[in-house]
């Protein structure tokens, strides 16, 4: 077969940005602006350029793009969270959303302030997960990098940087009302890690609704957890070892709720016949355990996507009228088999 008859590889079209510009009837600069999702291009022009990109099977040169824009196309993600489910769900959303704009995530475990290896990295923006988002030394270090950043579910107010949040107190309150509506009066509670504001807010929601319903909180039914499965095992054992155990336990995240189900099984208790167990987050483990967990769904993936969107918009210097703003997401009660 002659060279002229060979099918062209879909990965090596050979088209250049000038070819795309000629096909769309615009300048190469306009093509570049469309590919970088800059807001100065009209919708009609954008559609023409994207059609030309598709028709020509154009693949932007990543290295040249990075050099031309003086960017790395890397987004830093700083975390120190014991919940594997939360981290996994957030990463799925952030990686997928970043990939759509050819941004890559640089992950950094950050238990006590910004790590030197990260401060040396060339990143265009930073996402701070709880509890790192409340470490003032980390915030100061990120600001010294001179890049935009987004804080996820922060506890402390800070005038700089955007915030992506949920109302933890209202979400926890809704879960407790659900348990009371099921007929539960003796409700145990496993607290989240004390270094996260969400833990305090979820406990406050629990206590507020118990008081609202005229139900006393048994302090021996309220046990400290740390958002990890292991801590949930320990906390659940403390509560369930009592002769007058509660009829329901609300764990501050799904990892600890799943551990509570495991402890109930170990003690010969049927869930939900003998004990209702509910969690918070709706991470993968909530659907993996048996019985499946009733939980308060935190839209973690959507929050991750929003954080990446906000950063890319700031990196691209979006006009003030379209500039990103703080975002608050709503939680959803997901009823499954662990409650009754």
Exposure class string for 50-88: b at 16+ Cβ within 10 A, else e: eebbeebebeeeeeebbeeeebbbbbbbbbbbbbebbbe
- Residue 336: inside a domain: no
10 and 29 assigned to the same domain: yes
**Distance from CA of residue 201 to its chain's centroid?**
18
177 and 221 assigned to the same domain: yes
Most confident of 3-7, 45-49, 93-97, 175-179: 175-179
309 and 290 assigned to the same domain: no
pLDDT at 65 over 70: no
- Residue 334: inside a domain: no
186 and 260 assigned to the same domain: yes
Q: What is the pLDDT of residue 315?
A: 83
Domain boundary, last residue among 17, 40, 60: 60
Average pLDDT of span 294-301: 97
- Residue 224: inside a domain: yes
Domain boundary, last residue among 41, 60, 79: 60
pLDDT at 66 over 60: no
Contacts of 63 (CB under 8 A, 6+ apart): none
Closest among 326, 321, 325 to 39, alpha carbons compared? 321
Cβ 89 vs Cβ 300: under 8 Å: yes
pLDDT at 231 over 90: yes
Q: For the chain, what percent of residues have pLDDT higher than 70?
A: 84
Tell me what the pLDDT averaged over the chain comes to.
85
Eight-class DSSP state of 8: P
Most confident of 74-83, 172-181, 306-315: 172-181
CA–CA gap between residue 267 and residue 31 (Å, rounded): 65
Domain boundary, last residue among 35, 60, 85: 60
pLDDT at 116 over 80: no
Give residue 63's pLDDT band: very low, low, confident or very high (50, 70, 90).
very low
Closest among 243, 238, 290 to 262, alpha carbons compared? 290
187 and 159 assigned to the same domain: no
Q: What is the pLDDT of residue 324?
A: 67
Give the global pTM.
0.76
Instruction: Look up residue 334 and give its two tokens.
Output: 């997901």
Instruction: Look up residue 312 and give its two tokens.
Output: 């890319």
Average pLDDT of span 193-218: 96
Relative to beta strand 222-224, strand 187-191 is parallel
189 and 293 assigned to the same domain: yes
172 and 279 assigned to the same domain: yes
pLDDT at 183 over 90: yes
Helices (H), 146-188: 168-181
Q: How many helices (H) and strands (E) does the chain have?
A: 13, 12
Structural domain boundaries, residue 54 = 3-60
pLDDT at 301 over 90: yes
Cβ 148 vs Cβ 311: under 8 Å: yes
């Amino acid at each position: 077969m002659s060279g002229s008859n060979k099918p062209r590889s879909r990965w090596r079209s050979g088209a250049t940005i000038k070819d795309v510009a000629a096909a769309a009837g615009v300048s190469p600069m306009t093509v570049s602006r469309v590919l970088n999702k800059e807001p100065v291009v009209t919708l009609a022009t954008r559609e023409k350029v994207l059609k030309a990109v598709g028709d020509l099977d154009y693949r932007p040169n990543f290295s040249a793009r990075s050099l031309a824009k003086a960017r790395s196309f890397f987004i830093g993600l700083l975390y120190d969270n014991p919940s594997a489910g939360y981290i996994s769900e957030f990463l799925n959303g952030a990686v997928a959303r970043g990939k759509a704009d050819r941004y890559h995530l640089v992950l950094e475990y950050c238990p006590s302030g910004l790590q030197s290896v990260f401060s040396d990295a060339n990143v265009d923006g930073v996402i701070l997960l709880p509890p790192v988002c409340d470490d003032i030394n980390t915030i100061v270090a990120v600001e010294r990098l001179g890049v935009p950043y987004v804080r996820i579910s922060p506890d402390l107010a800070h005038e700089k940087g955007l915030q992506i949040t949920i109302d933890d107190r209202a979400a926890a309150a809704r879960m407790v009302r659900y348990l009371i509506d099921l007929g539960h009066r003796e409700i145990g509670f496993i607290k989240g890690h004390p270094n996260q504001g969400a833990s305090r807010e979820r406990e406050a929601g629990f206590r507020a609704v118990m008081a609202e319903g005229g139900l006393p909180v048994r302090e021996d039914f309220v046990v400290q957890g740390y958002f990890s499965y292991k801590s949930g095992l320990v906390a659940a054992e403390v509560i369930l070892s009592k002769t007058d155990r509660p009829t329901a336990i609300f764990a501050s995240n799904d990892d600890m709720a799943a551990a509570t189900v495991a402890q109930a099984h170990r003690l010969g208790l049927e869930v939900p016949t003998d004990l209702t167990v509910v969690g918070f987050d709706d991470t993968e483990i909530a659907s993996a355990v048996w019985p499946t967990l009733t939980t308060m769904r935190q839209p973690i993936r959507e929050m991750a996507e929003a954080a990446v969107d906000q950063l890319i918009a700031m990196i691209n210097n979006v006009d003030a009228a379209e500039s990103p703003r703080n975002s608050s997401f709503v939680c959803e009660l997901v009823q499954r088999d662990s409650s009754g």
